[in-house]
Amino acid sequence: MNSSRFLSPAVRTLSAFGGVQTAASLAREGALHHPVLLHLNECPYPPSPRVIEAVSHAVASVNRYGDPRPGALAALIAARNGIAPAQVLIGNGSDEILGLVPQMALGPGDNAVMPTPSFPRYRLGTRAMGAEARMVRNLDDGRNDVAGLLAAIDASTKVVFACTPNNPSGAPLPQDEIRALVQGVPEDVLLVVDEAYYEFDAAQGGIGALPELRSRRGPWLSTRTLSKAYSIAGLRIGYGLAGSPEVADGLVRVKLNFNLSCLAVVAAEAALSDEAYAQGCIAKTLAERERVSGLIEKMGYRTLPSRANFVSFDYGPEAASVMANLAAQGIFLREWRDPGFEAFVRMTIGLPQENDLALAALAKAA
Ligand SMILES: Cc1ncc(COP(=O)(O)O)c(C=O)c1O
């Protein structure tokens, strides 16, 4: 008997996402006392004290389900972005929202056009629906190839993904290229712009995709997260800003009813209420990224331009084995693994002492 008959043909094409180590999994294993976690682009600073207080207070009420579509949080996010609350969808991380897009839009015979290397959810979510993930290689500086993305669109394209600043490279899309994307993606195709690192770019003068997206005639969605700049990755809150209520409502049709923990919602409101704290974390991270990038260049590795809370560099063919070696010592960096880019390593900007430990280990391994 074939014991995996329950796997659909689409799901058979996916590999199990296993083995990523997190602060929580390492603590459970109990083997490493002070692991240096620079592989998940988390914020190294704890959340705002307001978050800790709000969550502590709310925990007494967790016998009740949360709100399937939390209105106050959506209104807060809507007001900050000059958009109607009906066009905001809150997700269990932006990962959830990016995963809902293929569920809403794609089926066998369809395709989604997306950059590579980039965030894996676009291709995994697309393939899980039996649709084709049409991947367009980034330009040499690591930014999405807008002309290439537009050229890959055909009559079966339902969704186009872009990512700015792009993970794992760090490069943002310049405004004129976002405009070309907004104008060039056909009006019956959903344009999704993943802006998980928006706040870091904005702190350096970037204005993000929204100003251009607002002028788009066809459907669009921008996704953002509170996992990075707002220090609540473990609570899981991301959101989508949609071009119309129809896009937000389409995503609601496929989401789980109670997708959000009520603690996460309370935490998100508190985190967004303490912008000064978030800006402090961002400023420290950006200053440290400059220092770290300079040291990596000094070590002789070419860094890619980054506007996010990480820096990637060309380490060479030994990247995977050296990173495995470092992980065994409790220092976690992330080799890209994407075909053709195996030599690249991404380092999240952590606390200065963590970054120094990682750089010293890299120097020793060279
Ligand atoms: C580009 C990009 N998009 C989306 C996400 C998902 O983040 P979250 O689900 O924590 O909001 C990440 C996380 O690393 C990311 O790098």
Q: Are residues 299 and 240 in the same domain?
A: no
CA 234 – ligand 1 centroid, Å: 12
CA 88 – ligand 1 centroid, Å: 17
CATH code for position 289: 3.90.1150.10
Q: Which domain holds residue 246?
A: 59-273
Among 37, 95, 230, 338, the mutation site with the greatest number of ligand 1 atoms within 8 A of its Cβ is: 95
Antiparallel, parallel or unpaired: β 88-91 and 132-137: unpaired
Q: Using the 3D structure, point to which of 217, 241, 273 is the last residue of a domain.
A: 273
Q: Are 131 and 108 in contact (CB under 8 A)?
A: yes
Q: Are residues 259 and 160 in the same domain?
A: yes
Q: Are residues 207 and 305 in the same domain?
A: no
Among 77, 167, 261, the mutation site with the greatest number of ligand 1 atoms within 8 A of its Cβ is: 167
Answer yes or no: is 38 within a domain.
yes
User: Which pLDDT score is estimated for 33?
Assistant: 74
Answer yes or no: is 52 within a domain.
no
Q: Are residues 211 and 341 in the same domain?
A: no
Q: Are residues 104 and 216 in the same domain?
A: yes
User: Which pLDDT score is estimated for 18?
Assistant: 64
User: Which pLDDT score is estimated for 149?
Assistant: 98
Q: Give CA–CA dist 38/350, Å, rounded.
A: 6
Q: Is the dihedral of CA 96, 100, 102, 103 positive or negative?
A: positive
Q: Are residues 99 and 240 in the same domain?
A: yes
Answer yes or no: is 209 within a domain.
yes
CA 93 – ligand 1 centroid, Å: 7
Answer yes or no: is 53 within a domain.
no
Q: Give CA–CA dist 167/309, Å, rounded.
A: 10
Q: Using the 3D structure, point to which of 248, 273, 298 is the last residue of a domain.
A: 273
Nearest atom within ligand 1 for CA of residue 92: 9
Answer yes or no: is 154 within a domain.
yes
Q: Hey, whose CA ends up nearest to atom 5 of ligand 1?
A: 95
User: Which pLDDT score is estimated for 356?
Assistant: 98
Q: Are residues 65 and 206 in the same domain?
A: yes
Q: Are residues 41 and 85 in the same domain?
A: no
Q: Are residues 94 and 139 in the same domain?
A: yes
Nearest atom within ligand 1 for CA of residue 226: 11
User: CA end-to-end span of the chain, whole Å?
Assistant: 50
Q: What's this model's pTM, rounded to 2 decimal places?
A: 0.97
Among 118, 225, 239, 261, the mutation site with the greatest number of ligand 1 atoms within 8 A of its Cβ is: 225
User: Which tokens belong to 213?
Assistant: 């997206």
366 residues of the chain, pLDDT tens digit each: 567 899 999 999 898 766 788 888 888 877 677 899 999 999 999 999 999 999 999 999 999 999 999 999 999 999 999 999 999 999 999 999 999 999 999 999 999 999 999 999 999 999 999 999 999 999 999 999 999 999 999 999 999 999 999 999 999 999 999 999 999 999 999 999 999 999 999 999 999 999 999 999 999 999 999 999 999 999 999 999 999 999 999 999 999 999 999 999 999 999 999 999 999 999 999 999 999 999 999 999 999 999 999 999 999 999 999 999 999 999 999 999 899 999 999 999 999 999 999 999 999 998
Q: Hey, whose CA ends up nearest to atom 6 of ligand 1?
A: 95
User: Which pLDDT score is estimated for 361?
Assistant: 96
Nearest atom within ligand 1 for CA of residue 163: 1
Q: Are residues 158 and 29 in the same domain?
A: no
Number of domains in the chain: 2
CA 225 – ligand 1 centroid, Å: 7
Answer yes or no: is 114 within a domain.
yes
Q: Using the 3D structure, point to which of 273, 297, 332 is the last residue of a domain.
A: 273
Q: Give CA–CA dist 66/360, Å, rounded.
A: 46
Nearest to 190 by CA among 126, 96, 108, 238: 126
CATH code for position 100: 3.40.640.10
Among 114, 194, 230, 306, the mutation site with the greatest number of ligand 1 atoms within 8 A of its Cβ is: 194
Among 37, 39, 40, 94, the mutation site with the greatest number of ligand 1 atoms within 8 A of its Cβ is: 94
Antiparallel, parallel or unpaired: β 310-314 and 344-348: antiparallel
CA 4 – ligand 1 centroid, Å: 30
CA 51 – ligand 1 centroid, Å: 20
CA 192 – ligand 1 centroid, Å: 14
Burial class (CB in 10 A: 0-12, 13-18, 19+), 143: buried
Answer yes or no: is 3 within a domain.
no
Q: Give CA–CA dist 256/249, Å, rounded.
A: 13
Q: Hey, whose CA ends up nearest to atom 16 of ligand 1?
A: 167
Q: Are residues 216 and 342 in the same domain?
A: no
Q: Are residues 93 and 151 in the same domain?
A: yes
**Binding-site residues, ligand 1, Cβ < 6 A:** 41, 93-95, 119, 163, 167, 194, 196, 225, 227, 233, 238
Answer yes or no: is 250 within a domain.
yes
CA 62 – ligand 1 centroid, Å: 26
